[in-house]
Amino acid sequence: MGTALDGCTTTTTAGSVRLARRVVELGLEGAFEVFAAARRLEAAGRHVVHLEAGEPDFPTPPHIIEAGVRALRDGMTHYTTSNGTAELRAAIARSMADRGVLAEPANVIVTPGSKLAVFHVLTALLEPGDDVLLPDPAYPAYAAVTTFVGARAVPYLVDAESGVDVDALAALITPKTRVLVINSPHNPTGHALAPAALARLAELAERHDLIVISDEIYRQLSFGETPISIASLPGMAERTAVIDGFSKAYAMTGWRLGYGVMPVWLADQVGKLVNNSVACTAPFVQAAGVAALEGPQDAVATMRDAFRARRDFIVEAINAIPGVRCATPGGAFYVFPDVRAVLTSRGTSVEALAKELLETHGVACVAGTAFGGNGRGALRFAYTQSRADLATAMTRVHAALGA
């Protein structure tokens, strides 16, 4: 049977099957595409330093693994409630006190990864024609889901050095604006919003009746004072969905465990979406999540200290390259150096430069445009590998960009 692909229509001998345009136009996360290309090079015998993916190179702490294994042996292998187990929802609600947020289990929805929490919260809130204020550059899922549900992504700049210009953001608000998405510490720049900026954003949200989605997945990997949550500010708990998870701070990327903490009126609807999509999150994984939140936090502190040291190393190394400028991140584990001078001198694009770094020099990184139009002059490096690997990568980057 022959098959031909023409635009959004797949033709077979059985007739014509039309694919939904929203799926055809759905983008892919750039870091995963770079990762796949790097793996192909490695399969051909090349050595590649992986600085493309936001995945800690640390193992999941042993007490968390043991809790998951014990749960498996105890028979926690069947369905559980869609919103999450009572034990994990209670533990998450208790943990919110560290952010100054009072929460109950009814405010908590557990999902297989924080990305699904973002997907379902945006889906529950948006109608076609709504506007959403999104950071740019930013985690690609925000814009992908916004356009998938028929809403319009309205980008606001997050500068790697100065952060968010709240006045410029305010000028983008219209009667159609429904949601404001913030992410601090920020992917891809590592910028952490100052309390004064959060207070101004909260005031805007209240004045214009906006719902705030606050992605706080990197909160525990902050290098200064532990950041406050916008949900802790007066009046904001009723209009904020906090998104978080276990992947980054507890090195649990493959466990797929995330959550949202939000007003009950929103949690009830997001719970229906979870019920109709994945049914529930694996219960033995949720048991591991309880152990992560309520067990010793030494591993988190160890990782944070290691990432801070790696940050200092890579920022100094990149700033030593003529024509390249790199801000010092306040958290997460990314740098987002400005390479516009290099691009101009070579007459090339940031996508071509990232491809050259991978294919010629064996350094996997992500072009800034994978995170939005405001990233066209930058590269993202994830300093999630060992100091030795970072040193190798920076030697190669110096050779490539300094030439």
> Is residue 152 in some structural domain?
yes
What are the tens digits of pLDDT across the range 50-61? 999 999 999 999
In contact, 99 and 243? CB cutoff 8 Å: no
Stretch (H or E) spanning 261: strand 258-261
Q: Which residues does residue 214 pair with via DSSP β-bridges, in sequence order?
A: 182, 242
In contact, 310 and 57? CB cutoff 8 Å: no
Q: Is the pLDDT of residue 222 over 90?
A: yes
Answer yes or no: do 218 and 330 share one domain: no
Read off the DSSP letter of residue 325.
Answer: B
Answer yes or no: do 97 and 114 share one domain: yes
Answer yes or no: do 350 and 275 share one domain: no
| Residue 15 confidence (pLDDT) | 59
Answer yes or no: do 233 and 172 share one domain: yes
Final residue of a structural domain among 265, 294, 323: 294
Distance (Å, whole) CA 161 – CA 176: 30
Counting residues of the chain whose pLDDT is more than 90, the rounded percentage is 90
Which tokens belong to 264? 């009950």
C-alpha 113 chain-centroid distance: 11
* CATH number of the CATH domain containing 323: 3.90.1150.10
Answer yes or no: do 89 and 31 share one domain: no
> Is residue 321 in some structural domain?
yes
Answer yes or no: do 391 and 267 share one domain: no
What angle (nearest 5°) sits at the alpha carbon of residue 262, between those of residues 225 and 299? 40
Fill in the amino acid letter for 194: A
| Residue 29 confidence (pLDDT) | 77
> Is residue 9 in some structural domain?
no
Which tokens belong to 126? 């948006």
Final residue of a structural domain among 294, 320, 335: 294
What are the tens digits of pLDDT across the range 343-365? 999 999 999 999 999 999 999 99
| Residue 165 confidence (pLDDT) | 97
* CATH number of the CATH domain containing 227: 3.40.640.10
Final residue of a structural domain among 253, 271, 294: 294
Answer yes or no: do 289 and 363 share one domain: no
What are the tens digits of pLDDT across the range 43-82? 999 999 999 999 999 999 999 999 999 999 999 999 999 9
In contact, 39 and 28? CB cutoff 8 Å: no
Distance (Å, whole) CA 187 – CA 181: 13
> Is residue 63 in some structural domain?
no
Answer yes or no: do 31 and 122 share one domain: no
> Is residue 380 in some structural domain?
yes
Answer yes or no: do 28 and 160 share one domain: no
In contact, 21 and 8? CB cutoff 8 Å: yes
Helix/strand/coil for 218: coil
In contact, 372 and 156? CB cutoff 8 Å: no
> Is residue 69 in some structural domain?
no
Answer yes or no: do 366 and 397 share one domain: yes
Answer yes or no: do 283 and 141 share one domain: yes
The number of domains in the chain is 2
Q: What is the pTM of this model?
A: 0.93
User: Exposed (0-12), middle (13-18) or buried (19+): which is 266, by Cβ within 10 Å?
Assistant: buried
Answer yes or no: do 83 and 54 share one domain: no
Q: Which domain holds residue 360?
A: 15-58+299-401
